[in-house]
Amino acid sequence: MPLRLGKAARDSVALLLLNQTVQLDSFGIDMYGRTMGSIRIHGMALDSLMISKGWAWFYVAYSKDELLPTYEAAARAKGLGLWLCAKPIPPWLYRKLNVHNKRLYDNCRN
């Protein structure tokens, strides 16, 4: 049975943040007028937590954080989150696929 990884990731973050106080560090506005920033919980950035739990990819083009690849490697080694999939595909590649090929990756198929 295919796993619904997007929903699992969303639920994981929701549980992580439930009844918690978070810190938002704003560092600007993007070209669409959205606030750019980092969310911290218990002193750790949310992106770091997501990557370490296997619910997010480290995107080299947008981050210089030297710890994130380490978190991703550990999650891969443990088979956490999206790393349960035999052939996960990064979102930046998935978005370039045609409709037929996207269907092949819509769910985690081991």
pLDDT at 1: 38
The tokens describing 24, both together, are 């938002």
5-105 adopts what CATH topology?
A: OB fold (Dihydrolipoamide Acetyltransferase, E2P) (2.40.50)
DSSP state of 52: H
Interatomic CA distance for residues 17 and 30, integer angstroms: 25
Interatomic CA distance for residues 73 and 68, integer angstroms: 9
CA distances to 4, 7, 33, 81 from 10, rounded to whole Å, are 10, 5, 24, 11
Using a 10 angstrom Cβ sphere, with 0-12 exposed, 13-18 middle and 19 or more buried, the burial of residue 36 is exposed
pTM of the shown model = 0.78
**50-93 pLDDT tens trace:** 999 999 988 888 788 889 999 999 999 999 998 988 778 888 88
CA distances to 7, 50, 94 from 11, rounded to whole Å, are 6, 11, 22
